[in-house]
Amino acid sequence: MAAVTSPFPEPILLYSLIENLIEFKEMEMQSSSGNVVEEVGGSSNKKENVLPPMAGGNPNKKTLVLDLDGTLVHTSLMPMPLGYHFTINVSVQGCDKPLYVVKRPGVDQLLLQLGSTGLYEIVIFTASHKAYADAVLDKILDSLPSNSQGRNLIPPTHRLTRNYCTKIRVKGEPHKVKDLSILGRDLKKVIIVDDREMSFLLQPENGILVDCWTGQQVRDADLFHVLSFCLKIEDPKLPYSATEDVTELIQELIYDQLSD
């Protein structure tokens, strides 16, 4: 990890702008109705089949959808007490500011063992803006071994950012959710990993909920549990690989591991 340097003061406006750049603030919606689902861009313009055809044409390959902030990384305006892995720069009112990023334990192993091997199709689905998400992902992928496919491991077609999210009101409160039906994949073969249960509200049976990663949990192992689960259900020596509906396996296996 990079060495920690002295923190510096930041104006309140900068905090507000960068929080919106990442993922923390919900989008405001103008609606007086209660539990109403509203697609981004209008319900008549719902995105469909946003992913290209599955590489290799393998109809049985599973798709692993990963959230970014709070799930794979934590980003801060100042260096964190336990250090950070890399920085990215953002421009705010014409002034470049560094953001400090710490990867969650297990990120590299997850991408290498599931993505680089071709075992799973990897998709990033985040409520963050595209420029920020691309900068973080490129840094993560560039740090992987040279035989890992680099940035091609998660190409632009498999990076879904804020404009792919669906707006929804729950008890009058606005939220952003990730509708897996837009992927164009068999939902029986789709897994989503997120630190916000609301993110997979429309397909809760496909979701694996992990604790929010803040960069301070010394013994965090959630991604290792996810990796173990994903490998287990693909192991031909185990009975799980014959199960066609992955949602059954999520309920049967993953939450027992995360509660250990």
- Which residues does the annotation mark as catalytic? 67, 69
**Among candidates 234, 4, 39, which has minimal Cα distance to 119?**
234
